[in-house]
Structure 1
Amino acid sequence: MGILTGEEGDPVALENAAARGRVILVCEHASRLLPKALGTLGLSEEALASHIAWDPGALAVARLMAQQLDATLVFQRFSRLVYDCNRPPESPAAMPEKSEIFDVPGNAGLDQAARDARTEALYLPFREALSRLVKSRIAEDRAPVIVTVHSFTPVYFGKPRAVEIGVLHDSDSRLADAMLAAAGRAGGRYDIRRNEPYGPADGVTHTLKEHGLANDIANVMIEVRNDLIKDEAGERAVADYLAGLLVEGLSSPELR
Structure 2
Amino acid sequence: MSKSWADSAPPSNLLLGQDDVSPVVVTNLGGCSPFLLLGDHAGRAIPRRLGDLGLAPAAMDRHIAWDIGVAGLGARLAEALDAVFIRQAYSRLVIDCNRRPGAAGSIPEVSDDVAIPGNAGLGAAEIAARHDEIYLPYQDAIAAELDRRTSVATLLVSLHSFTPVFQGQARPWRIGVLHRGDSRLSDRMLALLRRELGEDAGDNQPYRMDEIDNTVPLHADPRGLDYLELEVRQDLIADPDGQAWAAGLLAALLTEAVTA
TM-score if structure 1 supplies the norm length? 0.92
Can you list the C-alpha shifts for 1:109-132, whole angstroms capped at 9, x where unaligned? 112221111000101111111001
> What CA distance in whole angstroms lies between the structure 1 residues aligned with 2:79 and 2:105?
32
Contact 1:170 1:209 in 2 (8 A): no
> What CA distance in whole angstroms lies between the structure 2 residues aligned with 1:85 and 1:187?
30
- Letter in structure 1 aligned against 2:209: P
Q: In the alignment, is residue 157 of structure 1 matched against residue 170 of structure 2? A: no
What is the CA-CA distance between 1:187 and the residue it aligns to? 5.2
Can you list the C-alpha shifts for 1:70-124, whole angstroms capped at 9, x where unaligned? 0001011111100111111121211001000201010111122211110001011
Q: In the alignment, is residue 55 of structure 1 matched against residue 67 of structure 2? A: yes
**Structure 1 match to 2:15:** 3
Secondary structure of the residue aligned to 1:14 is strand
> What CA distance in whole angstroms lies between the structure 2 residues aligned with 1:251 and 1:11?
34
Contact 1:172 1:213 in 2 (8 A): no
Contact 1:149 1:221 in 2 (8 A): yes
Could you tell me which of 172, 178, 192 is aligned with 1:168?
Answer: 178
RMSD (CA atoms): 1.4
- Letter in structure 2 aligned against 1:233: D
| Runs of 5+ consecutive residues of structure 1 not aligned to the other structure | none
- After the TM superposition, which of the residue ranges 81-90 and 163-172 deviates more from structure 2? 163-172
**Structure 2 match to 1:113:** 125
**Structure 2 match to 1:16:** 28
- Letter in structure 2 aligned against 1:176: S
Secondary structure of the residue aligned to 2:210 is helix
**Structure 2 match to 1:92:** 104
**Structure 2 match to 1:132:** 144
Q: In the alignment, is residue 248 of structure 1 matched against residue 250 of structure 2? A: no
Q: In the alignment, is residue 206 of structure 1 matched against residue 214 of structure 2? A: yes
Q: In the alignment, is residue 193 of structure 1 matched against residue 205 of structure 2? A: no
Can you list the C-alpha shifts for 1:219-252, whole angstroms capped at 9, x where unaligned? 1111011011122211111111111121111123
> What CA distance in whole angstroms lies between the structure 2 residues aligned with 1:233 and 1:202?
34
**Structure 2 match to 1:184:** 194
Secondary structure of the residue aligned to 1:8 is coil
Q: In the alignment, is residue 29 of structure 1 matched against residue 41 of structure 2? A: yes
Contact 2:40 2:96 in 1 (8 A): yes
Contact 1:172 1:219 in 2 (8 A): no
Higher-helix-fraction structure: 1
| Runs of 5+ consecutive residues of structure 2 not aligned to the other structure | 1-12
Secondary structure of the residue aligned to 2:45 is coil
Contact 1:170 1:208 in 2 (8 A): no
What percentage of aligned pairs have identical amino acids? 39
**Structure 2 match to 1:223:** 231
Contact 1:163 1:197 in 2 (8 A): yes
> What CA distance in whole angstroms lies between the structure 2 residues aligned with 1:71 and 1:170?
24
Aligned residue pairs total: 248
What is the CA-CA distance between 1:16 and the residue it aligns to? 1.1
